[in-house]
Chains A and B, each alone.
Chain A
C-alpha cells in the first residue's frame, strides 16, 4: 500500500509541475497562508479589536487598508481573519470527507441492507437544502465558535464524498484482483485497506478539496448573514458589519472590498486545485481544455 501511495505521490508531484492550473491554484492558496503566517510580524494584530483605532478612516500610510466604523484596522482584521476561515474550512473538510468516505466504503463494500440505509440517508440529506438547515441550526446555537461552525457544516457536507466513494467502491469490488484477494482468504479489513483504499485515495483527496471549498462557502454564507463566530474577527463577519453599517452607500469601499478580494482569491485557488485534481482522477477531461 505504501509503495502504491509513493508511486501515486510521485506521479501527482510531476503532474503538478506540468499543470499550470494546479500550480496557479497552489500559489494563490500559499499566498493567503503566508499572509496569515507572516502578517502578524509586520502589522499589529491587536488593532483587529473594535475601538482600537480611529474609525472610518480611508487607506493611509498608517492604515494601508483604512479602518472600519467600529474602529478596527481592516488590514489587521484580514490578517487575523484569513487563517480562521482556512482553519474552519480544513476542519470541516476533514471531518466531512472522513465521515463520507467511511460511509461510502461501508455502503459500497458490504452492499445489501447497510447500503440501503446509507444510500437512503445520503439521498435524503442531499434533497434537504443545506443552507436552510444550517441557518436554523446556527440560529439556535448560543455562542458560535470557529470549531462549532466547522462541525455543524461538516455534518451537512459528507453526502457528496459518500456518494462518489460508494460508486467507486462498487466498481472496485468487482475487479479481478479483489476477487483474487477474497479467494486467497484475505479478511475484509485487509481487503479494504490493502486493495481498495489505495484506489480510492485520489478520489477522496479530490473530494476533500471540494468539501473544504464547499465548507468555506457555507461558512462565509453564515457569516455574511451575521451568524458566524462573534468573538473572532472573520472575513464573512467583516462583510456583515460593513453591510449592517451601510458601508456600501457611505462609500467606505476599503471596508468591504478587501475581504471580498481575499475570498475571491481563496475560492479561485481552491477551484483551480479541485479542477486540476478532477482531471488527474478522470484523465478524459484533460485534453479538451
Chain B
C-alpha cells in the first residue's frame, strides 16, 4: 500500500479509537455527571430534593442526550466529535467546549511548543558536539549537569524556581500568563508582560529536557560517526564544519525528529502539571479544572483534543519524513 495512504489510515484509526475510548471510560466510572451538578445545586441550597429535583434531572438528561440508548449516544458522540462539535460545558453551560479549548490553546502552544522546540534545537546541537571528537572538551563537562536535571520532573524544578525567583528575590511573577488587571491585546507592553510570565515555566521545561535531547543525539551521533560515509567525507577533504552539519548531524537527526513528533504531541498533555503549578491558563489548566468539577463534556473534549494533537503531529512528521530521509518508500 502507498506510504501516505497507510499513514492516513493509521491516523484515522487512532482518532476513532481515541474518541471511542473517550466515550467508554467516563461511563465505566461510578458517579454520574448529573449527580455532580445536583450535588453542586444542593450545596448552594438551590435544590431541596423531591419532585423538582427529578424534573431537573430529566431535563438535564434530555438536553445532553443521556436518555437515549447507549449505541445512539455513541454514534451521536462519534459524528459530533469528528465534526469537532464537542458539546457544551456542564459547569459553565451554555459555553461550548471547543470555544474554551480555542481560548486556552494559544497559551499552551506559545509556552510549551516554543520551549520544546528550543530545547530540541539546543539539546540536539549539544548532543552532537558531545560525540564530535574535535569539539572543545568543555562541552562534555556540561553533560552530567544536564543529565541529572533531565531526571527531575519539570514541575518540581518549577516550584523551586518560583520560590527562588518570584518569592525570595521577587524578580519575576509567581504565576499566570499575564498580570491580573491587564486586558490581552496586541501591544508591546502586554507582550513583554507575557514574556516575563513565561520565563520561569519555560526555563523549568528547558533545563529539564535539554539533557534528554542531548543524550539521544549523542547516541545516534556516535553510531553515525562510525559509518563509512563519514570516512569518505573526510577523505574528500571537506571542512570539519561541512562534515559535522551535512554528513553527521543531518543523518543523526533523523531518529530525533521522530521523537520530536511525539514530544510535541505530548506537549499539550504534559502541560497539565506545569500549567497547574504556574496557574497558566492553557489546555492543561482547563482539563484540571474540568476534572475537579466533574465537567464530563469538557473532560471528554479536552482529552480528545490532546489525542488529536499527538495524532496530528505524528501524521505531520510521517508526511514530512520522506523529504528528510529519501530511503523511506513513498
Asked whether, in the complex, the Cβ of A135 is within 8 Å of the Cβ of B222, the reply is no
Could you give, for residues 25-44 of chain B, a 1 whenever the CB lies within 8 Å of some chain A CB and a 0 otherwise? 11011110000000000000
Instruction: Categorize the interface residue count of chain A.
Output: 35 or more
What 17 additional pairs, Cβ within 8 angstroms, besides A120-B13, A132-B307, A135-B287? Answer: A129-B270, A129-B306, A131-B273, A132-B269, A132-B302, A133-B21, A142-B30, A142-B31, A221-B153, A221-B272, A225-B273, A226-B292, A239-B159, A248-B159, A248-B163, A257-B163, A260-B156
Asked whether, in the complex, the Cβ of A253 is within 8 Å of the Cβ of B163, the reply is yes
Residue A80 is within 8 A (CB to CB) of chain B in the complex: no
30 contacts between A and B (CB under 8 A): A123-B10, A124-B13, A124-B17, A129-B268, A131-B269, A132-B307, A133-B21, A135-B272, A135-B288, A136-B22, A136-B26, A136-B291, A136-B303, A140-B30, A141-B29, A217-B153, A220-B153, A224-B273, A225-B276, A227-B291, A248-B163, A249-B167, A251-B167, A264-B156, A270-B151, A272-B151, A275-B147, A285-B222, A288-B131, A288-B222
Asked whether, in the complex, the Cβ of A132 is within 8 Å of the Cβ of B287, the reply is yes
A132 to B268, CA, bound (A): 9
Residue A11 is within 8 A (CB to CB) of chain B in the complex: no
**CB neighbours of A137 from chain B (8 A):** 25
**CB neighbours of A288 from chain B (8 A):** 130-131, 218, 222
**CB neighbours of B310 from chain A (8 A):** 127-129
Residue A109 is within 8 A (CB to CB) of chain B in the complex: no
Q: Residues of B within 8 Å of A, CB-based: how many?
A: 58
A268 to B29, CA, bound (A): 36
Beyond A129-B265, A139-B299, A225-B273, whether A268 also contacts B287 by CB under 8 A is no
Asked whether, in the complex, the Cβ of A140 is within 8 Å of the Cβ of B163, the reply is no
Beyond A132-B307, A133-B303, whether A127 also contacts B265 by CB under 8 A is yes
Please pick, from B31, B162, B294, the residue contacting A248 in the complex, using a CB distance under 8 A. B162
**CB neighbours of B160 from chain A (8 A):** 257, 260
Asked whether, in the complex, the Cβ of A271 is within 8 Å of the Cβ of B151, the reply is yes
Identify which of B14, B22, B140, B156 gathers the most chain A CB atoms within 10 Å of its CB.
B156
A137 to B31, CA, bound (A): 13
A285 to B130, CA, bound (A): 12
* 3 nearest CB pairs, A to B: A140-B29, A129-B269, A271-B151
Binding site for B on A (CB under 8 A): 120, 123-124, 126-133, 135-137, 139-142, 217, 220-221, 224-227, 239, 243, 248-249, 251, 253, 256-257, 260, 263-264, 267-268, 270-272, 275, 284-285, 288-289
The residue on B at minimum CB distance from A287 is B222
- B314 CB to nearest A CB, Å: 6
The residue on B at minimum CB distance from A256 is B159
Could you give, for residues 143-169 of chain B, a 1 whenever the CB lies within 8 Å of some chain A CB and a 0 otherwise? 100011011110110011011000100
Asked whether, in the complex, the Cβ of B21 is within 8 Å of the Cβ of A284, the reply is no
Could you give, for residues 246-271 of chain B, a 1 whenever the CB lies within 8 Å of some chain A CB and a 0 otherwise? 00000000000000001001101110
- A286 CB to nearest B CB, Å: 10
A126 to B218, CA, bound (A): 24
**CB neighbours of A220 from chain B (8 A):** 153
**CB neighbours of B26 from chain A (8 A):** 136, 140
- A135 CB to nearest B CB, Å: 6
A36 to B223, CA, bound (A): 42
Residue B243 is within 8 A (CB to CB) of chain A in the complex: no
A131 to B302, CA, bound (A): 12
The residue on A at minimum CB distance from B306 is A132
A260 to B155, CA, bound (A): 10
**CB neighbours of B130 from chain A (8 A):** 288
Beyond A131-B270, A137-B25, A243-B277, whether A124 also contacts B222 by CB under 8 A is no
